Amino acid sequence: MQSIPLQPLVFEPILRRLIWGGRRLGTLMGKPIGDGDDYAESWEIADYHDSVSVVRDGPLAGTTLRDLVRTRPAQLFGRSRAAQDQFPLLIKLIDAREPLSVQVHPDDALARTLAGDSGKTEAWVVIDAEPGSLIYAGLKAGVDRDQLERAVRSGDVEPLLHRFEPRAGDCVMVEAGTVHAIGAGVLLAEVQQTSDATFRVFDWNRHGADGKPRELHIDQALQSINFGRGPVDPLITKPLVLEDGNVSEALARCPYFQLERWTLGAPQEIGRDDRFTVVMVLSGEVRVSRGDGELSLGRGATLLLPASISPHVLSPIGQAVVLTCQQP
């Protein structure tokens, strides 16, 4: 494997079926779903426990992302980041037919203590939102620990949650410590730290597949919530129109990742030679050259450009919108 040059990498999606999932991962995003209406998540790039991405095609087909991290870290991450022993980000598509539980993710320090995991800061980019759908992000101003604990134990949490109606294109930064829930009817892309440290605060008083109420993690959640954060709304961005008509838009940025959205009508060089770049096609189609020919990527496709081959030119077919993600 060491003798095979790295190239743009596409991985097999890891599909997760959960009670709140739907079918839009297949119907809108082109994922290979089967029967059933509970396809909740497509893990596009993952290196977490037993969920590890596998290269889909090309000379490196069948190679796992974990293999690349262990054997080619400098080429994958860039020399200054080569000490990483795990791919640091988990890239997902999420389809919520029903609302997700109200939950919170701990920061790095608390996650190690309470969950034996990394912390979990994440960002969402809304792809589709049905009329009347909601996103819950943060607590209403002034809500304190005692108020929330009483509401959790009485089963009446929703009145304390800040909420808004999302629109396609909204970007929401969900820092660790933020109470949140994706509402029914929302389809989005999620970028997060590689972690599954999640504490369920409230689950709408519903039952799981076994007919029993799903477990809550009230004590851990109350320790993890940042009660000083308050309401969280979509980020306000400033699109930048380039000379060729392409548009770049800086979205979320934190110590773990930075996101940028591109609206492309002309070929665009994407990426940097000192870090990897993740590309997600949100609409339209783009083409990318690689050693064994040209790669065509339609809506829902995710591409990883290793540091050693960045930057790379994306050529849209007509107009396309792509999300790019890098380590800061």
* Cα–Cα dist 129/186, whole Å: 5
Residue among 64, 108, 104 at smallest CA distance from 86: 64
Structure tokens at 113: 């203590």
Whether the CB-CB separation of 251 and 259 falls below 8 Å is answered with yes
Residue among 67, 72, 63 at smallest CA distance from 12: 63
Whether the CB-CB separation of 139 and 180 falls below 8 Å is answered with no
Residue 200 is a catalytic residue: yes
Structure tokens at 263: 């609206």
Q: What is the Cβ-side half-sphere exposure of residue 319, based on CA atoms within 13 angstroms?
A: 6
The region, left, alpha or beta by phi > 0 then psi within -120 to 50, assigned to residue 92 is beta
Question: Is the previous residue joined to 311 through a cis bond, with omega within 30 degrees of 0?
Answer: yes
Structure tokens at 96: 């919520």
* Cα–Cα dist 50/59, whole Å: 24
Catalytic residue, candidates 97, 200, 261, 290: 200
If you compute the radius of gyration of the chain from its CA atoms, what whole number of angstroms results? 20
List the end-to-end C-alpha distance of the chain, in Å, as a whole number.
29
B/e letters for 126-135, b = 16+ CB within 10 Å, e = fewer, are bbbbeeebbb
* Cα–Cα dist 206/18, whole Å: 14
Length of the chain as a residue count: 328
Active-site annotation, residues: 200
